[in-house]
Amino acid sequence: MMATPILQISGLTMDFGGIRALNRLDLDVHAGEIVALIGPNGAGKTTFFNCLTGIYTPTAGEILLTPPGNSKSISLKGLKPNHVTEKGLARTFQNIRLFSQMTVLENVMIGQHCRTKAFILGAILRNAATRREERQIVEKSYAILDKVGLAHLANEFARNLPYGAQRRLEIARALATEPFLLLLDEPAAGMNPQETQELDRLIKEISTDGHSILLIEHDMKLVMSLSDRIFVMDYGKKIAQGKPAEIRSNPAVIKAYLGEDVDA
Amino acid sequence: MFYLNEIKRAFLTSLWFVFLTFPIVVIKVDPIERIVRWRWENSLYMAGGIFVVYLLVKFFIHRKSQAVEPEVDRDNEVKGSFIHRILANPKQRNVLIVVLLFAALAFPQFSSSYQTNVMSTALMYVVLGLGLNIVVGMAGLLDLGYVAFYAVGAYSYALLNHHFDLGFWAVLPIGGGLAALFGILLGFPVLRLRGDYLAIVTLGFGEIIRLILENWSEFSKGPSGISNIPRPGLFGIELSLKGEIIYLYYLMILFVIVTIFIVNRLQDSRLGRAWIALREDEIACQAMGIDKRKTKLVAFALGAFWAGIIGVVFAAKTTFINPASFTFLESAIILAIVVLGGMGSIVGVILGALILILLPEYLRALSEYRMLAFGAILVAMMVFRPQGLISNIRRTYHSDKKFHPPTQQ
């Protein structure tokens, strides 16, 4: 008997006017897993992430989150993005969305926002509690940057980082929100093979630290190396799911990626 | 080759200007003598002037583009500017602050009442600029109706004093609070709006407040305004007119110091970071767990608060207010202070306010060309320093712990 999955999605549907971008999608992630979501361009993977993180409100379906060590499930459907993040789900973006005019460290410090409290009065009075909190934010952010290998660039502007480092900073920023489930939207997009290899190592490290990971990725080598399970989407529908070896030989997946076989 | 080409272009440009300005500078109709005077020599001056100005502008742009060449050094260059260097060094910074403070405190002793009065006005705009800087510079919400909150502050003092005989110091927090409340009222409907749309709605809001004040005569006495507003009290001591002006000046110095202190602390706080993140990318900001609604409303409320405070001071300073003091032009000037000074930079906004308010006063020597010169300086500023006088530098934080050395790339 397996424990309840930390993320259980059932019948998730998203309509944009007459277009059904997601069609009754079911998906689950268990604690400690790395799950990949793959599919051709336009299959609805990013829409799926947007529904999950509250940027879109899904038309139908249910998203249930069960924090590890907790028997109660929370529905994420209709929650605002910031509340989803507070519940312990953090994401990165396919097109990098860093705060480019802020320093690398400040980007990570923003991630700590929902775990800290100081407000107007705290900011003006700068009392002991606020100073302690600021100190903690800085130390923690440095520790996270150290983990992704960016601590030496902490006070650079985010916009001045090389591409691969910006991708890693996005992961660091998401980690700073203290999630138990990390959603990575094409973390390896545009990376060179060496950067991808480093990313592979980083994701495994994050996973061993106790974060579950759900990632969208096109780099099949990375997906096959990382994932415990893979879900495949096409035209908003799930067409396959299983272990990497099963997916590799699944005819429906091959058809979706390579097109219809021409019958002789 | 570059020079020949440019000279050719300069020549063509000056010809074009001669053509454009021909009706104004050359033809002069003399209605008394009933003749037309052709002042051909003027077109020559025009051609020569434009020719020189064109080449000068080209030369500066050329030199600038060459100076920028090493891309990486650009940020360092900005960081290394004179004022930033002083600000980065705590010792030099403290010396500068003490010198400025003494200069500010001694100012009324060495200058006329007129000068002191002008300086008080400039200081009021420093506070207004710093307030708007929270909304526009930090949170990135383009607010074209800022003057509405200024009006709310001014009218709350005028009306509360008129009806309930409340004094300056009693109304000061009420005026600020009311303005903050109006800030939240404006904030609610515009939470979803950004950029141009937000600008239009705030512009409309500013006009609504002004039109209400102008037309609801039973409430605000309409365009004739409210007069006989008492000046700020000093423990009930009667002051001469000169004394009042100097007192108000010192009051403004105090307000400016308090504002700088608070705004500076806000900027370096969790809240300030959230504002800047909101300016940078709203969606990423929300995905990182920042409550967009709360953060925006707080920015509007805090920005409006300073406008309300200064509104009360304004009413007390002029002892008379009417809706004509709160037109869109005021909003535009305050916005210009923020943009010209450097968005998000406190020192920049202070400098911007002093320049924008004092310049027209001291340009009075140029009599009727004063506003023309003012406009020209503004245009030149935006061409040569679009990021504002002093760009903002982000605070850096350091950790005591040791970190892994960077991996070899």
Task: Please report the ipTM that was assigned to this predicted complex.
Answer: 0.90
Same domain, B155 and B53: no
| Nearest chain B residue to A157, by CA | B394
CB count within 10 Å of CB B181 equals 16
Out of A84-93, A228-237, B16-25, B318-327, least confident range: B16-25
> How confident is the model at residue B229, as a pLDDT?
87
CATH code of residue B202: 1.10.3470
Q: Do B404 and A151 lie within an 8 Å CB cutoff?
A: yes
Q: Do A119 and B271 lie within an 8 Å CB cutoff?
A: yes
Any CB–CB contact under 8 A between B273 and chain A?
Answer: yes
Strands (E), B197-296: none
Q: Do A114 and B288 lie within an 8 Å CB cutoff?
A: yes
Residues of A in contact with B180 (CB under 8 A): none
Q: What is the pLDDT of residues A85-119, one digit of tens each?
A: 999 999 999 999 999 889 999 999 999 988 888 88
Out of B66-75, B80-89, B210-219, least confident range: B66-75
Same domain, B130 and B16: no
List the one residue out of B219, B158, B140, B148 whose CA is nearest residue B182: B148
Q: Do B280 and A119 lie within an 8 Å CB cutoff?
A: no
| Residues of the domain holding B53 | 2-67
User: Quick one: pLDDT band at residue A1, thresholds 50, 70, 90?
Assistant: very low
Same domain, B303 and B163: yes
Same domain, B27 and B151: no
Using CB atoms, which residue from A101, A149, A176 is nearest to B406?
A149
Two tokens at B181? 């409340």
User: Distance between CA atoms of B315 and B153, rounded to whole angstroms?
Assistant: 8
- The number of folded domains in chain B is 2
Same domain, B358 and B246: yes
Gyration radius (Cα) of chain B, Å: 25
**B79 pLDDT above the threshold of 70:** no
Give B 198-217 residues with CB within 8 A of chain A: none
Using CB atoms, which residue from A82, A99, A124 is nearest to B286?
A82
In a domain, B45, yes or no: yes
| CATH number, domain A1-88+179-264, options 3.40.50.300, 3.30.2350.10, 3.30.420.40, 3.30.300.130 | 3.40.50.300
In a domain, B401, yes or no: no
Using CB atoms, which residue from B283, B285, B298 is nearest to A120?
B298
CB count within 10 Å of CB B303 equals 29
> How confident is the model at residue B222, as a pLDDT?
84
Any CB–CB contact under 8 A between B74 and chain A?
Answer: no
Any CB–CB contact under 8 A between B70 and chain A?
Answer: no
Q: Do A151 and B272 lie within an 8 Å CB cutoff?
A: no
In a domain, B72, yes or no: no
> How confident is the model at residue B61, as a pLDDT?
80
3-state secondary structure of B29: strand
Nearest-neighbour CA in chain A from B355: distance (Å): 27
Any CB–CB contact under 8 A between B191 and chain A?
Answer: no
Residues of B in contact with A152 (CB under 8 A): 403, 405-406
Q: Do A123 and B401 lie within an 8 Å CB cutoff?
A: no
Give A 151-170 residues with CB within 8 A of chain B: 151-155, 157, 160
pTM: 0.83
User: Distance between CA atoms of B298 and B223, rounded to whole angstroms?
Assistant: 32
List the one residue out of A146, A217, A106, A118 whose CA is nearest residue B288: A106
Percent of chain A surpassing pLDDT 70: 97
User: Quick one: pLDDT band at residue B78, thresholds 50, 70, 90?
Assistant: very low
Average pLDDT, chain A: 89
> How confident is the model at residue B408, as a pLDDT?
44
Last residue of a domain, one of B10, B36, B67: B67
List the one residue out of B58, B66, B64 whose CA is nearest residue B3: B58
Any CB–CB contact under 8 A between A147 and chain B?
Answer: no
> How confident is the model at residue A215, as a pLDDT?
93
In sequence order, the β-bridge partners of residue A181 are A89, A212
Residues of B in contact with A124 (CB under 8 A): 262, 265-266
User: Distance between CA atoms of B351 and B54, rounded to whole angstroms?
Assistant: 29
User: Quick one: pLDDT band at residue B27, thresholds 50, 70, 90?
Assistant: confident
Using CB atoms, which residue from B75, B398, B399 is nearest to A157?
B75
Percent of chain B surpassing pLDDT 90: 36
User: Quick one: pLDDT band at residue B386, thresholds 50, 70, 90?
Assistant: confident
List the one residue out of A108, A1, A10, A111 whose CA is nearest residue A63: A10
Q: Do B289 and A86 lie within an 8 Å CB cutoff?
A: yes
